[in-house]
Amino acid sequence: MKIIFALTTALFLVGCGADDDEVENVESVGNPETPEVFVETFDGKLSQFGQILSKKRYAALVEHQGLQGSKAMKVTYQGFEQGSYRVYAAADLAEPALQYKMSFAVKFCDNFDFVLGGKLHGLGPENPITGGDKITAEGWSARLMFGPGGTLRTYVYHQDMKGKFGDIKVAEDFRFIPGIYHQIEMLVSLNSAPQQADGKVVVSVDGAELIYHDKLRFRAKDTAASLINKMIFITFHGGATPDWAPRTEDGSYNAECAYFDNFVVSKVL
- Are 75 and 89 a contacting pair, CB within 8 Å? no
Per-residue model confidence (pLDDT) at position 4: 37
Per-residue model confidence (pLDDT) at position 53: 78
| φ and ψ at residue 51, rounded to 5 degrees | -60, -45
Per-residue model confidence (pLDDT) at position 91: 81
- Mean pLDDT (10-residue bins), the chain, 269 residues: 36 38 41 77 82 87 95 97 93 92 98 98 97 96 98 98 95 97 98 98 98 97 97 95 97 98 93
Question: Which among 135, 140, 120, 212 is positioned nearest to 169, based on CA atoms?
Answer: 212
CA distance 256 to 149: 14
Per-residue model confidence (pLDDT) at position 222: 98
The SS3 assignment for 181 reads coil
Per-residue model confidence (pLDDT) at position 57: 94
- Are 115 and 237 a contacting pair, CB within 8 Å? yes
Handedness of CA 212, 96, 13, 128 (dihedral sign): negative
CA distance 34 to 216: 28
Instruction: List the chain domain ranges.
Output: 11-17+24-266
pTM of the predicted structure, to 2 decimals: 0.88
In CATH, the architecture of 11-17+24-266 is Sandwich (2.60)
Per-residue model confidence (pLDDT) at position 46: 78
Q: How many CB atoms lie within 10 A of CB 70?
A: 16
- Are 88 and 16 a contacting pair, CB within 8 Å? yes
Report the amino acid identity of residue 80.
F
